[in-house]
Amino acid sequence: MAYLTTTASGQPVLILKEGTTRNRGKEAQKNNIMAAKVIAEVLKTTLGPRGMDKMLIDSLGDITITNDGATILKDIEVEHPAAKMMVEIAKTQDDMVGDGTTTAVVLAGELLKRAEELLDQNIHPTILVSGYRKAAVKAVEAMNKVAIQVEPDDRATLRKVAITSMASKAIGNAKEHFADMAIDAVMQIVEKRGDKNIADIDNVQVIKKTGKSLLESQLVKGLVIDKEVVHPGMPKTVEKAKIALLDAALEIEKTEMSAEIRIRDPNQMKAFLDQENKMLQEMVDKIDASGANVVFCQKGIDDMAQHFLAKKGILAARRVKQSDMEKLAKATGGKISTDLNDLKLQDLGIAGLVEERKLGEDKMVFVEKCKDPRSVAVIIRAGLERMVDEAERAMTDALSVVSDVLEDDKVVAGGGAIEIEVAKELRKFATNIGGREQLAIENFADAMEVIPKTLAENGGLEAIDVLVELRSAHEKADGQYKGINVFTGKVEDMKQKGVLEPLVVKEQAVKSATESASMILRIDDVIASTKPKEGPGAGKPPGGGEMPED
């Protein structure tokens, strides 16, 4: 079952190890395109406000219900290498702009489907790839031409963008509330670097707790630390808090080498323990001398140190995650100290209120009323655990698109409007190129229309009629913002309807889809090394094909 060839004299030569499979030429291309199309088909029905959800059950029986493209592809275990590339598109799209994963994957699948038709007409893959790349550049140009400029303080437009990003999520009438929270959060963390706005949504802490309703989700102008106050004798509430952030243990360090101390006198034992307590007392005195009345420690706090802190009326939490410590520093304006001897008043963070509260079943420490926090927290509530998870995904999308617009101040019309406009421009562009590349560019234009077509199909509309109407609308002078309203089935002005999406999301979707489609099209030989299986079907390649022997 190994891959064999023969010399001129007929002597067999073993080239590849046993169990290796090889697909070549058209067969390899068709196999890869089919795998990519299957992944696109999985996501297609989730697109748009009338998209459906998927129920994913992992090997442990855990259930996820979502229509978020990135989550679906992350949770399904994909085997085929070409299908894995589609999963990578979704991951790249999610990492870069946080939204538009389904669009990117569906577009890549459609580009490959259209390419297959041209491959059947014996058009060379490199001509297709060249045409697709030219089309992608032109598509981005066309998007920029009709993009709408947004001012950073234009809250109404940001709200529309946030609500559009959550249109397909099953959070019902909580969309407006979530959009407002997302805008407030991102506005709080945005920084000016040179002449650019930078909004890193990692500085927004998202906490999920089952219970109450979606509308009781809240934004905290500060942070929520998932730790309890370490000692029952400590205050549970501190107003006008001065916060020490410590990356040092309030414990007596154990020696690295094992040592034996021989004590013959009980007084020596007492002196030994007293010395330990004295050292801990000195540590607490240094904290108290700095003026701190709240301590967040990244490492441990000894029981005796807890007792001394409680006597001083200092609230303390221990083993706080490093990421939370960094967020605390941004929220309170404090500095993380690694040495108690260097702790000074100016290193302390400031908060109006630090309080331990019960959230669901757990106690947490809330750090609130910070003056100008560069890190904030969003608490998401819902009555069902699956709902909390989906609401978190909706919030992440909203945060992502708001930060996208603040960083890159342009939006485009949604509802398939931008795709139809790009397709129109590409068809004009194709006639200037001529030759076989023209066919590839026209195919790219047809592929762009898969987005409005899918939106219409998912809305239960007649896709062909919708496409014809959209194309006709875009030929008119004021038609560049016309898209499909899936709830009414009518072609409407998406700019007026407030259906807006960040330009960078659409640009990244086109770039990612083009790159992955190009890479898959250029593959004409798949050589897979698989371990020989035992039992029925042993040694056969994935997909049931025979092992070639020359």
Whether residue 525 lies in the annotated active site: no
Instruction: Choose the catalytic residue: 53, 68, 347, 389.
Output: 68
Determine which helix (DSSP H) or strand (DSSP E) holds 468, and give its type and residue range: helix 463-474
Instruction: Choose the catalytic residue: 64, 66, 92, 102.
Output: 102
User: How many CB atoms are closer than 10 A to CB 164?
Assistant: 27
Determine which helix (DSSP H) or strand (DSSP E) holds 275, and give its type and residue range: helix 266-289
**DSSP at 489:** T
**Non-local CB neighbours of 189 within 8 Å, separated by 6+ positions:** 199, 200, 201, 203, 204, 330, 373, 374, 375, 376
3-state secondary structure of 4: strand
**b/e 307-325 (16+ beta carbons within 10 angstroms → b):** bbbbeeebbbbbebeeebb
Whether residue 372 lies in the annotated active site: no
93/100 Cα distance (integer angstroms) = 7
Q: Is residue 241 within 8 Å of residue 367, measured between CB atoms? A: yes
Instruction: Choose the catalytic residue: 101, 103, 454, 514.
Output: 101
Instruction: Choose the catalytic residue: 347, 397, 404, 408.
Output: 397
338/352 Cα distance (integer angstroms) = 25
Q: Is residue 525 within 8 Å of residue 136, measured between CB atoms? A: no
136/126 Cα distance (integer angstroms) = 15
Whether residue 68 lies in the annotated active site: yes
Burial classification of residue 153, based on how many CB atoms lie within 10 Å of its CB (0-12 exposed, 13-18 middle, 19 or more buried): exposed
Residue type, 491: V
Phi-psi sector, 433: left (phi>0), alpha (psi -120 to 50), beta: alpha
417/476 Cα distance (integer angstroms) = 13
The residues annotated with a catalytic role in the active site are 68, 101-102, 397
